[in-house]
Structure formats: structure tokens, C-alpha cells
Structure 1
């Protein structure tokens, strides 16, 4: 019985996963907690403190589950895999070992976005939503779907969002490639404008006809892929115990 913990990325909250709800098998257990500072989850006093983040998220990230980290959520999940008991498996969705890559979002581009966010946070947030919708087959439809899900204002306070932007530039998940603490899979939209396939580990799996938001553009394909990967982790764990 797969158990999946879905972890959202920057500038959105757990509502991003709602389009997947009709497509889970009956035997799947699904949870989608908000990161601290998003939704109704209280913000951390120091949102950049990963040890405090681990303490806050410990109950929401059980070891008998597969963690699915999307975008910044993948980098945060990778960091917490070094601070909490390791999960049954980790699926990195729409994220490589690092966020910045010269063939996608360069360090200079992210730095420019951070400066713009400091000056005009709400306008920058809306721009980011359009940016990540840009690789989808129907970008305008995906942007409208994002705004219907999230509303007109950012789902987190500015200190939390500012810390998240810094983490996009600072955090890495190379340890998941070199010495993974658990089984790891890499899954991405084939048209993702924020991701460089050349920067992904060997064996990364592409979802056709989707960009950075496959939960909106390809919910059936994404739900099937996540369940299949989780089944594989569970099977491998069973074989190891035998």
C-alpha cells in the first residue's frame, strides 16, 4: 500500500496537488502538508534554519512513506533526508541536484529575480507563476488554473518567500546522486523551462507534453508515474527484508 507525502514548491501551497485527487488508486495513502509559513502552517521565526524546519516537519514526514518533493520542495526534502530518519524513498519532481543551471535558470537570472522580488514581491510572484507555466502545452490555461487554486495573493509571508528564494540558490541535492540515503527517483516535465535535462542524473524520467507543473497539465500521467515509482520502492524494500 503506497504512502505518498507530496511536498510543494516555492510560491504555492498544498492546493497545487488538488488536481491529482481523482487519479489516485484506492489503496494509496496521500498526504500533502504545507511547509512552515504556507497556508495555515505557522511560519518559523528563522525560515532559513533547516534544523528548525526538520523539527517542525518531523511528524509530517514519516519514514514508512515515499516523499515527493516538487521544485524547491525537492531541495528541502533532500536537506531533511540528512536531518530526519530516512523515508522509504524520495522522488525528486521537477528538480535536479541544483536549481540553477546555465542551460535553464542561471545564477544571474535567479539573482535578478531576487532583487526584483525585494522591490515588488506580489508582481514578482505572479511573474513566477507565469514563468513556470510557460513550458506547458497551454501556458495561459495553466496560469489561470494556478490563480484559481491560489487566489490573487502569495500563500506565504514575505520572509518565508524570501528565504525560499535564497534556498533555491543555495541548497543542493548532490548527495542523492553520490551516496543516496534511500532509493531516489528523478521525474520531470519534458518541456520544463526551469530545468536543464543535461543537469539531471542518469535514469531521470521525462513526462511527455508537460512543463514545470505536470500536476496541472498531465495529472493522470503524473499520478500514475508517482504510484508506479512508489510501488517500486515498496517492492525493493520487501525484497531487502527477505
Structure 2
């Protein structure tokens, strides 16, 4: 059985992956663990401590699986490679080496963090809308996202604050330069949060930052193809 572990990004819990459920092949075992502080997962006392995060996530991140980290989830998964045994491979979905490398400047992120401190719920809702700007039908994608997540953040405020700090601080450039396992990069061609596409990135056409919502079947096919490539197993 080939295994995929799907890791969500800032402000979204594991339900973001639900649209992919009908599209997996029979030979794929998929798990969607929540980060600590999201969903039903207990928050960490120090949510920005990567060693504590690694310890909490160890049971959910087996070495024989292909990890898929989306957005902040990709940054965190790559950072955890320095704390955990390497997996079969890592897919960075919608993830640059630094979050502030592209359209979102450090100053804009700092302003977003100040806005979150003033009104976390409204700022969270604004971010959900903003990240959907590259989808072919943003309003439809937003309705789907609200249906999945509801009207309140799916994580503790301390966890969300720590996540924003990680978006500002994490830089996985050195890990990409000397990876401990195969790393593949996948993104929507119209992702509004990323810099210009690089030669090592595979593009999902007609998709933005959230291909889980706009192109779930295509995303599932791409991930299964990467799983076949890195595992050497043909899926049923």
C-alpha cells in the first residue's frame, strides 16, 4: 500500500483536503493529520518550537510515506526534515522557499499580523478570500471553503499567531539546496501568493493557491504520479 500524508497550511485544518477524497486510486492510503492546535489536535504549549512540533507530529509522519505540505504546511514539513527521519519524498504544494519571497512583502505580512492582533476572526476570513484570487471561479471556491471550514478559525489563536510568525521567519532554501530526501514542487499556475514559477516547479493550469478546491481531480492525479515516481510502485 502506497501512503500519502497531506499537511494543511495556515488557517485551514485537514478538511481542506476533503474534495480530493473521491479521486484517489484504490492502491493509495491517504492520511490528513492536523497540526497541533488545529481541529481536535491539542495545541502545543510553545507552538513555535520546531522540536516540540516534531515530537508531536512523529506518529503522523512515517518515513515510508510521501509527505505533501501545502503553503505553510510545506515550510513546516521541510523544516521538520532537520528533526525527523526523512520520508520517501516531500511535495511542496503552493510553497516558496520563503513566504515573503514573492507578492507578499515582509512589510505586508507585518501589517497582516498587526491586523490579526486587532481582529483575528475578520483577518482570518480576509485571508481565506484573498488566497482564492487565482482560482478560475473565486466566489465558488470561497463558498466551498466556507462550507468545509465554517465561520470560525479551526485553530487556537495562539497557534495561528505562531503560524504567522513562522511565515515571517521560516526559510527552507538551505534544505532545498541539500535535501535529505527527494523534494518535488507543485503549484497552481495562477497562485497569487507565489513568485514567478521556477524551472523545477510543476504547474497545475487553471488553478491558484488552492487547487484542492478548484482542481481536486487533477491535483490527486499529480500527487499519485509523484507517489509512483518516488515509490516505484504502480497504483491500482
- Range of TM-score over shorter length: over 0.9
Shift of 1:213: 0.4
1:150 aligned partner:
149
In structure 2, stretches of 5+ residues that fail to align are: none
Distance 1:169 1:203 in 2: 24
Q: Distance in 2 between matches of 1:65 and 1:148?
A: 29
Counterparts of 2:39 and 2:93 in 1: how far apart (Å)? 21
Distance across 1 between alignment mates of 2:196 and 2:91? 16
**1:68 equivalent in alignment to 2:68:** yes
Correspondence list, 1:116-131, <5 A: 116-131=115-130
Aligned to 1:219: 216
CA deviations 1:160-189 (Å, max 9, x no partner) are 000000100101111332101100000000
Aligned length, in residue pairs: 233
For residues 61-210 of structure 1, the aligned pairs below 5 Å read 61-101=61-101, 103-198=102-197, 200=198, 202-210=199-207
In the superposition, the TM-score normalised over structure 1's length comes to 0.94
Identify the match of residue 228 of structure 2 among 226, 231, 240.
Answer: 231
Alignment of 1:50 with 2:47, yes or no, is no
RMSD over aligned CA atoms reads 1.1
Aligned equivalents of 2:159, 2:135: Cα separation in 1 = 27
Structure 2: distance between partners of 1:175 and 1:215? 28
- 1: distance between equivalents of 2:6 and 2:130? 22
Aligned equivalents of 1:89, 1:172: Cα separation in 2: 19
Tell me the alpha carbon deviations over residues 11-44 of structure 1, each in whole angstroms, 9 at most, x when there is no partner: 0100000000000000001000000000000000
Any idea what the Cα deviations from partners look like across 1:184-206, whole Å, max 9, x if unmatched? Answer: 000000011011125x4x32101
What does the per-residue CA deviation read over 1:111-163, in whole Å, with 9 as the maximum and x for residues that have no partner? 11001000010000000000111110111111111110000100011100000
Q: Is the 8 A contact 1:192 1:212 kept in 2?
A: yes
Q: Would you say the 8 A contact 1:6–1:30 is kept in 2? A: yes
Q: Provide TM-score, normalisation by structure 2.
A: 0.97
Task: State the distance in 2 between where 1:20 and 1:44 align.
Answer: 29
Cα displacement (A) at 1:225: 0.2
Q: Give the ranges of 4+ consecutive aligned residues of structure 1 lying more than 6 Å apart after TM superposition.
A: none
Q: Secondary structure at the match of 1:67?
A: strand
Distance 2:119 2:179 in 1: 39
